[in-house]
């Protein structure tokens, strides 16, 4: 299974013609791409509960001060990337993904004892799925199955009794989509099912039913989602013909979409966070061989984007965390289509929104992209992913490594 499976057929010529990427990238041209973008296989990213709650972007608002040190912890039993992940009661659960094949395995990491244990496997093996945490239970939704197409499966895991229950599937099978949790309902948006998906549907756990909602104005995959003021912001991503810079906002009460001001830079496979009521968009790629370093700030009250200080290192398929109002950019991939080890990043840097400055922080022990991260018990954890050690042209084996960023 190729990491950029949905778009690999059209991306190869771009990679062949591209020049070698540098670690520190120049500011990008802000013109839109005019060709079909290649998709990265993991935005795994992620449940969004009122505000965004994970994987992709976690927050710790406290008075803690970073020691600025990464420590290696016990690795997972099974190497994996493109997997689901949630944290429940101080324990981290890794779900499905790809190892040497599609996985249905589930592992639990105890942050107190530094021990992994195997749990009841998920009924359906899949990658590119989304996970959501509601009322202490983990929902595994959709994804891809090698040779079997796309999944609409919805399965719920109860960590207390270590058991899975199969629930009503989505109306539309899909992978590389996004979910948002708002007012106790799970919204599934966009994605890919051999074509880009417009469809939006909402799951009500109280009735175990999916209801179709107003479709997205622009079909997308590998976009980002943020929840602000009771509305769902869908930002950037790959459309069928280009990388987009557009933002569409969904109002669940009115079942209505509204177009907002576009980003200055089209981007996909990037990261977003919310700090002090502003949405920040970082990095990603836009059908260029080199990743992006640009940063933008969106003010929902004025519907305006402002360019900010670029990251020191351009990166795609990385992760972010918010610690004491500062944003940490972690790892990633610096040259699209090149799976050699030196194109995966261990670098970490910190952005101060008040000062509009970036500073380098302690690097990861293991370079990685397509990994998962989560903040729990005052610690930031990074696990799994791809490090290029296989250099297998997109058929990577995944890694099992786990490390944590230390705080006082």
d(CA 98, CA 153): 17
* Three-class secondary structure of residue 341 per DSSP: helix
* pLDDT value of position 389: 83
d(CA 341, CA 357): 29
What is the CB neighbour count within 10 angstroms for residue 199?
Answer: 20
Instruction: Kindly state the tokens that stand for 96.
Output: 């499905």
Closest residue by Cα to residue 374 from 66, 87, 44: 87
**Do 291 and 21 touch, CB atoms closer than 8 A?**
yes
Whether the predicted pLDDT of 38 surpasses 50: no
Instruction: Kindly state the tokens that stand for 360.
Output: 């380098």
Closest residue by Cα to residue 296 from 313, 272, 331, 269: 272
Listed in order, strand segments (DSSP E) in 34-88 are 48-49, 51-52, 57-60, 66-73, 84-88
CATH 3.30.450.70 fits 5-407, yes or no: no
Whether the predicted pLDDT of 251 surpasses 90: yes
**Do 114 and 379 touch, CB atoms closer than 8 A?**
no
Mean residue pLDDT of the chain comes to: 85
pLDDT of 333-347, one tens digit each?
Answer: 998 778 888 999 999
In the structure, what pLDDT confidence band is assigned to residue 111 with cuts at 50, 70 and 90?
very high
* pLDDT value of position 289: 77
pLDDT of 278-329, one tens digit each?
Answer: 999 999 998 777 899 999 999 999 999 999 999 999 999 999 999 999 999 9
In the structure, what pLDDT confidence band is assigned to residue 24 with cuts at 50, 70 and 90?
very low
String of DSSP letters for 372-389: EEEEETTEEEEE--B-SS
Burial per residue of 73-107, b for 16 or more beta-carbon CB atoms within 10 angstroms, e otherwise: bebbebbbbbbbbbbbeebbbbbbbbbeebbbbbb
Whether the predicted pLDDT of 43 surpasses 70: no
Q: What angle do CA 272, 52, 262 make, to 5 degrees?
A: 40
Q: Which residues pair with 212 in a beta bridge?
A: 201
d(CA 128, CA 193): 12
Q: Locate the domains of the chain by residue range.
A: 5-407
* pLDDT value of position 124: 96
pLDDT of 51-102, one tens digit each?
Answer: 333 333 344 433 344 478 999 999 999 999 999 999 999 999 999 999 878 9
Higher pLDDT: 98 or 35? It is 98
pLDDT of 119-160, one tens digit each?
Answer: 999 999 999 999 999 999 999 999 998 767 899 999 999 999
For 2, phi then psi, to 5°, come to -80, 145
Whether the predicted pLDDT of 175 surpasses 90: yes
Scanning 94-194, the segments in alpha helix (DSSP H) are none
* pLDDT value of position 392: 61
Whether the predicted pLDDT of 396 surpasses 50: yes
Q: Which residues pair with 250 in a beta bridge?
A: 232, 257
Whether the predicted pLDDT of 28 surpasses 70: no
Environment class of residue 390 by beta-carbon count within 10 Å: exposed (0-12), middle (13-18) or buried (19+)?
Answer: middle
Whether the predicted pLDDT of 248 surpasses 50: yes
For 7, phi then psi, to 5°, come to -125, 5
d(CA 225, CA 206): 24
* pLDDT value of position 270: 97
């Amino acid at each position: 299974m190729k990491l950029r499976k949905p778009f690999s057929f059209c991306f190869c010529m771009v990679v062949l013609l591209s020049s070698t990427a540098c670690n520190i990238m120049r500011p990008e041209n802000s013109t839109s791409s005019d060709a079909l973008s290649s998709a990265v296989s993991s935005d795994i990213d992620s449940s969004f509960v009122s505000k965004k709650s994970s994987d992709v972007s976690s927050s710790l608002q406290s008075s803690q001060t970073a020691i600025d040190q990464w420590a290696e912890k016990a690795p997972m039993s099974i190497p994996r990337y493109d997997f689901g992940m949630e944290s429940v009661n101080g324990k981290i659960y890794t779900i499905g993904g790809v190892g040497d094949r599609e996985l249905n395995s589930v592992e639990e990491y105890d942050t107190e004892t530094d021990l992994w244990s195997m749990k009841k496997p998920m009924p359906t093996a899949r990658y590119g799925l989304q996970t959501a945490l509601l009322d202490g239970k983990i929902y595994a939704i959709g994804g891809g199955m090698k040779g079997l197409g796309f999944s609409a499966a919805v399965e719920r895991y109860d960590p207390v009794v270590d058991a899975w229950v199969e629930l009503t599937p989505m109306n539309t099978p899909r992978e590389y989509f996004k979910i948002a949790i708002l007012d106790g309902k799970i919204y599934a948006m966009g994605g890919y099912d051999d074509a880009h998906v417009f469809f939006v549907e909402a799951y009500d756990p109280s009735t175990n039913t999916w209801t179709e909602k107003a479709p997205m104005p622009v079909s997308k995959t590998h976009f980002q989602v943020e929840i602000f003021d009771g509305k769902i912001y869908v930002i950037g991503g790959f459309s069928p013909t280009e990388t987009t810079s557009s933002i569409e906002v969904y109002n669940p009460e009115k079942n209505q979409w509204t177009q907002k001001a576009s980003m200055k830079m089209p981007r996909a496979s990037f990261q977003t966070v919310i700090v002090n009521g502003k949405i920040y968009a970082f990095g990603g790629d836009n059908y260029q061989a080199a990743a992006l370093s640009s940063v933008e700030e969106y003010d929902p009250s004025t519907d305006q984007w402002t360019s900010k200080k670029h990251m020191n290192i351009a990166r795609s398929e990385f992760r972010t965390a918010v610690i004491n109002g500062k944003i940490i950019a972690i790892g990633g991939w610096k040259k699209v289509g090149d799976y050699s080890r030196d194109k995966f990043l261990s670098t970490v840097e910190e952005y101060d929104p008040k000062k509009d400055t970036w500073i380098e922080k302690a690097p990861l022990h293991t370079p990685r992209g397509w990994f998962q991260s989560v903040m729990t018990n005052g610690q930031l954890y990074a696990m799994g992913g791809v490090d290029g050690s296989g250099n297998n042209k997109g058929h990577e084996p995944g890694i099992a490594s786990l490390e944590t960023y230390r705080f006082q």
